[in-house]
Structure 1
Amino acid sequence: MKLLNITFILFFILGLSQLHGQVIIGKPTLGFTQACASESFNEYQVTFSFSPDTALLVSNQFFIELSDPTGDFTNPTTVYSSAEGEITSSPATITFAFPETVSGEAYKVRVKSTAPIASSTPSVAFAAYYKIQDTPFSINNLIPTGIFCAGGSYLLTIDNPGNDDNDSPLQYPSLNFNWYKLVSATTSVIVHTGLTYEVTEAGTYYAETNYGTCTSNSYSNRVVISESASGNDSEITSSRGNPYCASDGETILSAISANSYQWYKDGELIENATNQTYNTNISGFYTVNIDLGGCSTTASIDLDTMTFTSSLNVEDEFSLSNGESVTVNISTDADAPMFQWILNDVIISGETTSSLVVNQAGDYQAVITQTNGCETSNTLTFSVTEPFPDVENIPNVISPNNDGVNDTWVIPKKYVSGSNTVVVIMSSRGEVVLQTNNYLNNWPQETMDLTSINSVYYYIIKPENNQTKKGSITVLK
C-alpha cells in the first residue's frame, strides 16, 4: 500500500513538471488579407495567443516563419525573431516585413517558440507580392502601332535597358509578365504570360507585371496591331516628342519592328539609314520604307525641332575704307529674340538690337537667342577688311619690324585676293615659303628668323593673262 502511494505521488509530481514545461501556441491571426509590399510600404502584423504564460523560460524566443508560395513549410523563411524573454504575455502582436522575393497566392505563416519548443498551426492562406518595380514602363519602343503580314506575326517586347525615361522591369530578373488584349473599351483578357508575346491576331495589346491579385502601377503603353496584305501606313515616334527643342540634343526616330528599313528626309534618300531607328535634330518630313517579309509598309513623321532661321544683309566678307560705315541688320523668325554683337571675340557693350553700325575692320559675330518656348541660339559671322592699297609697282624691299611702315610685301591690287593670281615666294635656297591664289598683302605674317642682315627671297606672280612677273625681295633686318 505504501509502495502504491509513493508511485502515485511520483506520477503526480512528474505530471506537474511536464505541465509547467509545455506551451500551446494558437493559430496566428493576420492583420491583413493580402500583402502587396513595396519599397514605400512593408509593415504587416500577426497576432497570436499562447498558454500558459508561466511556461515560458527567460531565454525563450518567438519566430514568425513564412511558407513557400504554395503554403508548404519544408524550407520556411524566418521573417521575424524576438529577443530572448521579449514577449511574456498573451496575446502578442508582431510587426514584420516580407522579403523582396515573395510572389504567390497561397502563402502561410506560423509561430514557433524556443523555450519551451512549440509551434502553432499555419495561418489561413494569403497572397503576397513584393512590388520591386511599381511604375509604368514601355513596350514596342513606345511606338503605338504595329503591322504583320497575313499569316505572319508581330513580336511585342518590353523595352530595355532602364533609364530615367523608362524604369524597365527587365532590370529585375525575378519578375514575370501578363500580356492582355482589349475585348472592349473597358475590359481585357490575359492572352499570354512571359517576357515577350508573338501576336497573331489584330487587336490592342499591353503588358503588366504579374503581381497576382495585388494592384500596381507596373503596366505598359498600349499598342494597336493590325494585319495587312498590302501594307498600311504606320507611325514614326520621336523619343523627345514632336515638336521638341533641338538644343536638347538629337531625338531618336523609331519605326515598327520589321525585316529591313530605308529612311528618307523630304523625299530624299538618306544614305546608310537602314536601321529601325534614325537619330536627328533637324526639322523635316521623315519617311521610312519598311519590309515586313511577306509585305511592306511605310511610316512618316513631320518633325518640328522648334528651330529658327536668321540672316544678315551683308556678305560674309567685305571691306570698308577709312571713314566709311555700313548698317548690318539681322532678319530672324525667332520667338522673342535677344541679340548680342561680338567683335574680335569681345562683346560690344550696349549693342543689343537687331542692327549694328559697322565702321571698323575685324571679325564680327551676331548671336540671336530665342527666349520664348524652346531657348536656343544661332550665331552669324562676317568679316570686315580694309581695302587693299593699289600700289603702282611690285616692291623689292620690306622691313618687317612692326613699325607700321613697309612691314609686309604689298603688291598692286590687280594681283591680290579676288584676282585669281598665283603668288609664289621662295627662299634663296629654292624653298617655297608661300604659294597662294588668294594673296592678302600679308607676307610675312609672323616674325622671321633671319640668318643674315639682309635676306633675299624670290617671287613669281602668275596672273590669269599669263604675263608672269618675277623678281627678288630683300628683307631688311
Structure 2
Amino acid sequence: MSKKLHNYFLCLVFFLSPLTKEIYAQLVIGNPSLGFTQICTDATYNAQKPFEVTFTFTPETALSPSNQFIVELSAANGFFGTTPTVLATSNPGEITTSPGKISFSIPTNTAGENYKIRIKSTAPGNTSANSASFAAYYKIQDSPFTINNFVSTATYCPGASYILNIDNPGTGTNDSPLKYPSLTFNWFKEPGTTPIATGNSLTVTQPGVYYAETNYGSCTSYSYSNRVTVSESSSGNTTTISSSQGNPFCSNDGTTTLSTVSGNSYQWYKDSKAISGATNQTYTATQAGQYSVAVNFGGCTATAAINLQSYQFSSSIDVSETNFINADETLPVTVTTNALNPEYKWFLNETLIPDATTASYEATEPGNYKVEITQTSTCVLAQELTFRIISSIDPNAEKIPNLVSPNNDGFNDTWIIPQEYTSGTDTEIVLMNATGEIVLKTNNYQNNWPETSTNFKNVNPVYYYIITTKDQKTKKGSITLVK
C-alpha cells in the first residue's frame, strides 16, 4: 500500500469512530405509559408483579446488545433525587423492539399520592421523561381493628375530655395496625367524611360517634375501627351496660361479659348488693339477675343497670306422676313445651326407647318413664320429665287386706297378710305411696306395718303393694289407711 493511500485510510477511521458513538447516543425513550391509574396492593397481590409500564424508544438500532432498561420510582412527592427506587430491570438484550413492556411490584413502604415513574437505558445511557403522577399504597394491614377496648360507649365529665386509643394488641382476633410503625391514621366524627385528626389517639371534647381508619389515601381502606359513642355526663346521669352474649344469654355457652363505659373506677352490683372485688370496667356474669354498675369519671359519676336474663323453656306432660293400667291397656302421654325446634327422647327404666322421637308416646308396660326435651335453636337446652306406671290391682289378691286402721284400738292396726308371704318365706314386700315413693321394702315382713302411728296428711291415704314370692310370682294391690 502506498503511503498516500495509508494516510487516507487512517483519516477515514478517525472520522467514522465519533460518528458511530453519535449513532448510539441518539436513542430517545418516550414518556412511560402506565397500565393503571393508581396502585392499591397488598402482600398477596404485590407478589405477582401485577403492574406494567409501557414505553417506546427509537431508533431500535441504537441499542447495544448489552442494554438493560430500568424502571425507577420517585419519592412520594414526585422527585427522583440522586438515588431513586429501582422497581425492575430487564435482562441484557431482552428488549430490542419498541414498544417495551416491564412488570413490577412496589416496595412495602410505599404510601403517597404523587409518585412518578421513569425509564432508563444502560447502553447507550439515556433517561425518559417522567410519567404522570399517581397514588400508590402498599396496604401492609387491611383488616378491621378495635379502639377503646372494643367498648362501644364512653363518657367524660363536663369541661373535661376523653381519649380514644387504638388497641394494641386489642381483643379477640383484632389485628392492631399499631404493630406496623409505618402506618398513619385518620380519625372521623360521624356523619362527616373529612378527617378531624391524625395519630394513634384522639382527644374528644364533644359528644358524638367517632372511629379511626388507616390512612391509605385515595385507596379504599378495609382497615377501620369499631364506632364509639362518646357522651358528656354529670353526677346522677345514667349510662349503659352491654352483654357479650346478648340479653337473654345462653348459660349453656358459659358466661357472658358485662361491659360499661370507660371511667376512672367502677363498682358492680347484683340485686342491689355490691359484688366483692367487681371493680373493673367489665364483669363476668354466670347467672341471670338484676345487675348495675356505678362509674366514677373523676369528677362525676354515672350508673347503669341491666336485667340480665337467661334462655329457658317450660314443659309439662298430661299424666300423673304415678299411673295404673291393666295388662291389656295403654297409657297415652303427650308433652307440651315452648322450646324452640324441640327434639324428644323417651326412656323406660333408663333405656332409650327406639323410634320414640315425637311429643307423644303410648306406654304399654309398667316401669319408670322419662322424656328428654331438647331445645335445638338459639340456645341448646335440655329438660327431663318423669312418670311411673304400675299395673292395676291384682284381682287375685282377695286374701290380702286392703284396709288398715292404725288407731291403736287393737283391731286391724297393722297390715296383716297371709303367712306364706311373711318372715321366713324370702318374699319381697314393696309398699309405695300415691306418688310412687317406696315407703317399705323388705324380704322379712313381720306383719308390723305401719310400726308407728300415722299422721294423716290426706283423708284416707292410699298405698300400693307389690308382693314377689321366691319363685317370682307377684301380687299387686292397694291399701287404704282409715282412722
TM-score (norm 2): 0.66
Question: Deviations for 1:353-386, whole angstroms, at most 9, x for unmatched residues?
Answer: 2567596455x54322335x52523132659699
- Distance in 1, Cα, partners of 2:121 & 2:37: 25
Q: How far does residue 439 in structure 1 lie from its aligned partner after superposition?
A: 11
Q: Which 5+ residue runs of structure 2 have no aligned equivalent?
A: 391-414, 444-450, 453-483
Q: Identical aligned pairs, as a percentage?
A: 44
Aligned length: 407
1:64 has 2:71 as partner: yes
Aligned-partner residue type, residue 112 of structure 1: K
What is the match of residue 123 of structure 1?
131
1:292 has 2:300 as partner: no
Judge which range, 343-352 or 103-112, deviates more: 343-352
Contact persistence 1:162–1:168 (CA under 8 A): yes
1:89 has 2:92 as partner: no
1:47 has 2:50 as partner: no
Q: How far does residue 211 in structure 1 lie from its aligned partner after superposition?
A: 0.8
Aligned-partner residue type, residue 40 of structure 2: C
Q: How far does residue 81 in structure 1 lie from its aligned partner after superposition?
A: 3.0
Higher-Rg member (1/2): 2
Q: 1:296 to 1:75 in 2, by over 3 A?
A: farther
What is the match of residue 25 of structure 1?
29
Aligned-partner residue type, residue 56 of structure 1: L
- Distance in 2, Cα, partners of 1:307 & 1:73: 71
SS at match of 2:195: strand
Q: How does 1:162-241 map to 2 (within 5 A)?
A: 168-170=176-178, 172-182=180-190, 185=191, 187-241=192-246
Q: 2:108 aligns with which of 89, 100, 106?
A: 100
What is the match of residue 376 of structure 1?
380
- Distance in 1, Cα, partners of 2:297 & 2:364: 60
Question: Deviations for 1:405-460, whole angstroms, at most 9, x for unmatched residues?
Answer: 69x9x9999xxxx99xxxxxxxxxxxxxxxxxx99879xxxxxxxxxxxxxxxxxx
Q: How far does residue 279 in structure 1 lie from its aligned partner after superposition?
A: 3.7
Judge which range, 305-314 or 40-49, deviates more: 305-314
- Distance in 2, Cα, partners of 1:139 & 1:156: 7
Q: How far does residue 262 in structure 1 lie from its aligned partner after superposition?
A: 2.9
Aligned-partner residue type, residue 15 of structure 2: F
TM-score (norm 1): 0.67
Question: Deviations for 1:203-260, whole angstroms, at most 9, x for unmatched residues?
Answer: 3321111112323333333322122232532222333445666655544332222223
Contact persistence 1:320–1:361 (CA under 8 A): no
Q: How does 1:437-448 map to 2 (within 5 A)?
A: none
What is the match of residue 446 of structure 2?
none
Contact persistence 1:328–1:358 (CA under 8 A): no
Question: Deviations for 1:278-320, whole angstroms, at most 9, x for unmatched residues?
Answer: 34475555432222222211233455554323467899xx888
- Distance in 1, Cα, partners of 2:120 & 2:161: 54
Contact persistence 2:259–2:282 (CA under 8 A): yes
Q: 1:107 to 1:37 in 2, by over 3 A?
A: same
Contact persistence 2:187–2:211 (CA under 8 A): yes
1:14 has 2:21 as partner: no
Q: How far does residue 201 in structure 1 lie from its aligned partner after superposition?
A: 3.2
What is the match of residue 333 of structure 1?
338
1:158 has 2:163 as partner: no
Q: How does 1:307-456 map to 2 (within 5 A)?
A: 307-310=312-315, 330=335, 332-343=337-348, 344-347=350-353, 349-350=355-356, 352-353=358-359, 357=363, 360-361=366-367, 365-371=370-376, 373-374=377-378, 376-380=380-384
Q: 1:173 to 1:369 in 2, by over 3 A?
A: farther
